[in-house]
Structure 1
């Protein structure tokens, strides 16, 4: 009788874990027809539970509690069981504890409580790469190159960069003391309060007159808006419509589906961007472009590689299918599934795969990826010094130009300012392609 009571309790626990997310998913999508989702939910709740497996589950739990080398409480065992339930579905479904759930929210929103420091590791110490403007770190006078030797009195030497970052992040308004060493001098303390830090996912600049560059590091909630602003700024900096643009999606792991749609829409004026198909009605969505064209139809090269995944592949696939841009680089990662985050009680959540997405032409990228239009693998650029070459204008007694043009003798090239394309072979090739397109089009 005691065993039967325990089994009933476990069965109810498992039923709540399965049923609650379904109810929340239905509530989160009021536009979906209730009639389409209610029968499925009812069927899931009323389906008979496999009693033999539940008996085995309860028996295993009892054996672990009785015989494992160290005491294990019920909460730990049940949480581990839930994690196992999700982890065996596919690589992207997971049970998120409070810390993991908060980290996911910060990643997709681009906001977190911190100090505003980009850091790296050098000789075992945490080093400031750059303070972010208008953050507690920049206002406190922290400089690039400073070594962070202690955080709240605890030495950082031997810690991983992630461990140090975790200690510097935290509750907004809370104070933290960093012990810094600058230029090998005497250590000094800086006390500052954490604030909301906004990490931008988009970087943009002009590579050369007429040719712009936009890099998206991941797809956050505001990425679409940031790309729109970047396009407007590049247009302003160039003074007129650009001759070409490079959109860099390399090593972009993805992110928010809606942001990927917004980014693609900045370059498209009509047609389908992406559609999703799943088992439940509200997982089937279609996204189409609106007529506005923030990019002004500028010739476009999209850089991709094996680190371009998920939302990056949505953008690349849409631009490729719509013949809007030329994809250059190497094959993408091949993550063609959509995950939905379903909040649970106690600041926990389920991240569960609910659909597959398809490009406008109906291609599923899952486990295949997107092939570039022009394959360009990574390579190291090495500049070679010019030899002692001479031109006609260097020769004594040379004839002048019959059209009256000035002579152009050999001149030694001056060392110019380093440019991103000088050390990036794929970017260099993309820029060369855009210049070639500009010449053939007479721009």
Structure 2
């Protein structure tokens, strides 16, 4: 599950947008009642109520109300029972109260309050899936893979995900201290203030003449449109068709399914992008590319890592199966399930897993992830200073070049403007690969 601002299970959720009243927020409509011909009809045959278990449930409620150290009202007990019912299905299903439901809708629009951390659960601990760029979490140096072992001094082990997320909630401006463990080392504290998170889902720039870069931080409702605009701007800035493009999906926890489809479609001109399988009728979906090619067929390298999840894996899987781009980096997170938001009365909702998604070649990514075509792990780049080397043109009395042209003696390199690829080993390798492809293709 996920904590991004004050809500559990947000950007790792793939919200299926199919034109429901919630379509502009988080996605899917409630499934229609199954019919005799629907995939869920066989499973929908009413079975006798489990009377013994219902009696036990009623007895437990009575015992708690009578014997618990403090008074507990029926509403609290029933809401806790519902939360327990959902939380034990899988890590991504949840009962959303009014506040959580509202924030789920806010998150897919790109603005919400919180820390900017996407989290999951590992061995009973809360684990950072990825920090969101330009948020308190990323600025504080929190990294993907960090374990959150304490929140304001309270251990997280043994708590449910919802309990941990609730403790990370709070007013904008209030400070919170997280105790982290990184790579099995000693615990250390990070104190940061909650803030309004305004996520810029798409960033783009030219790295060098001919070579562009697009980073998607998460998939929001307008991400597909933003990627289309970014491609157009890069082409304009370059003055002609680009020689290569890097699509960066690292530490992207996912988001809206339709946005992932639109992004993949910008690079594909035909064929399947993704399809889903589930029990309810409207969970059987197929998405195919249209002939338009916003990317102009530019050679493409896609960067992925363990923080690339859900919608990111849809895009990466489609481009890999269609042989449209080269995947570089490390294995992805492995979230291949679809969550549908079912609104309830009183501004509440259920978010339940209703389907699995599959890449064009029929691969389920659930709990396995996507393997890169070329594995490149994170590393630090350090530039070495040139020694006192001399060239032939530096030697006194050297011969001139018989073909004409000026001599090229040794010159001291001027300190240039810092570039993103200078400090990012994986990006540097992706750029080198694109240059190699350009040379061999005669571009």
* Both structures adopt the same fold (TM-score exceeding 0.5): yes
Give the Å deviation of 1:48. 2.0
Shifted more, 41-50 versus 11-20: the winner is 11-20
Give the Å deviation of 1:346. 1.7
Deviations for 1:5-28, whole angstroms, at most 9, x for unmatched residues? 999999999999999999999997
The alpha-carbon distance between structure 1 residues 36 and 283, as it changes in their structure 2 partners (threshold 3 A), is farther
Shifted more, 378-387 versus 121-130: the winner is 121-130
The alpha-carbon distance between structure 1 residues 287 and 425, as it changes in their structure 2 partners (threshold 3 A), is same
Give the Å deviation of 1:100. 1.7
For the aligned residues, what is the CA RMSD? Answer: 10.7
Give the Å deviation of 1:99. 1.9
Higher RCO, 1 vs 2 (CA within 8 Å, ≥6 residues apart): 2
Q: Distance in 1 between matches of 2:339 and 2:42?
A: 23
The alpha-carbon distance between structure 1 residues 56 and 325, as it changes in their structure 2 partners (threshold 3 A), is same
User: 2:165 — aligned with what?
Assistant: 165
Give the Å deviation of 1:199. 3.5
The alpha-carbon distance between structure 1 residues 381 and 355, as it changes in their structure 2 partners (threshold 3 A), is same
Shifted more, 46-55 versus 383-392: the winner is 46-55
The alpha-carbon distance between structure 1 residues 19 and 227, as it changes in their structure 2 partners (threshold 3 A), is closer
After superposition, residues 86-105 of structure 1 pair within 5 angstroms as 86-105=86-105
Give the Å deviation of 1:339. 0.4
Give the Å deviation of 1:70. 1.4
Shifted more, 365-374 versus 17-26: the winner is 17-26
Give the Å deviation of 1:158. 25
Q: Secondary structure at the match of 1:80?
A: helix
Q: Distance in 1 between matches of 2:414 and 2:73?
A: 71
Shifted more, 218-227 versus 159-168: the winner is 159-168
How many residue pairs match? The answer is 443
The alpha-carbon distance between structure 1 residues 225 and 174, as it changes in their structure 2 partners (threshold 3 A), is farther
The alpha-carbon distance between structure 1 residues 259 and 72, as it changes in their structure 2 partners (threshold 3 A), is same
Deviations for 1:253-304, whole angstroms, at most 9, x for unmatched residues? 0110000000000000000000000012211000000000000000000000
TM-score for both structures, normalised by structure 1: 0.75
Q: Secondary structure at the match of 2:253?
A: coil
Give the Å deviation of 1:47. 3.0
Kept in 1: contact 2:3–2:118 (CA 8 A): no
Give the Å deviation of 1:4. 44
Query: Higher Cα Rg: structure 1 or 2?
Result: 1
Show structure 1 runs of 5+ residues with no match: none
Shifted more, 360-369 versus 129-138: the winner is 129-138
Show structure 2 runs of 5+ residues with no match: none
Kept in 2: contact 1:37–1:280 (CA 8 A): no
Q: Secondary structure at the match of 1:128?
A: strand
1:34 aligns with 2:71: no
The alpha-carbon distance between structure 1 residues 318 and 344, as it changes in their structure 2 partners (threshold 3 A), is same
The alpha-carbon distance between structure 1 residues 70 and 372, as it changes in their structure 2 partners (threshold 3 A), is same
Deviations for 1:29-60, whole angstroms, at most 9, x for unmatched residues? 69979745789579748432111001111111
